[in-house]
Structure 1
Amino acid sequence: MITYKVVLDERRAKADGKYPIMFRITFNRNTSNYSTGIAVNKEHWNAHAS
């Protein structure tokens, strides 16, 4: 079964203070992260809505 989650990668801040939005995909207990190419400020991210 495949599961996914949209997450804010707080480990990698860009120079302008924004954080990249990532897809975290799990398949057979193996997790992979894929970047969306979009970055937002931390205060604009709502973790409960994703």
Structure 2
Amino acid sequence: NNWLAAGVVGGCFLVAILQGLGVVNVPEFIQGALYTVGFTLVIQFYFRKKEGE
């Protein structure tokens, strides 16, 4: 599950870099939604994996 978390964090980081460079213009509420969705996916994935063990 570490690679999934790293992917989500990396994706958010990439968006933040592009935003900072002015390549993309992402409203703050969309950024917040992306972080929330990513965090939720990581949590769900983690607990599903624990249940399967």
TM-score normalised by L of structure 1: 0.27
Name the structure where strand makes up a greater proportion of residues: 1
Larger radius of gyration: 2
Name the structure where helix makes up a greater proportion of residues: 2
TM-score normalised by L of structure 2: 0.27
Higher RCO (C-alpha under 8 Å, 6+ residues apart):
2
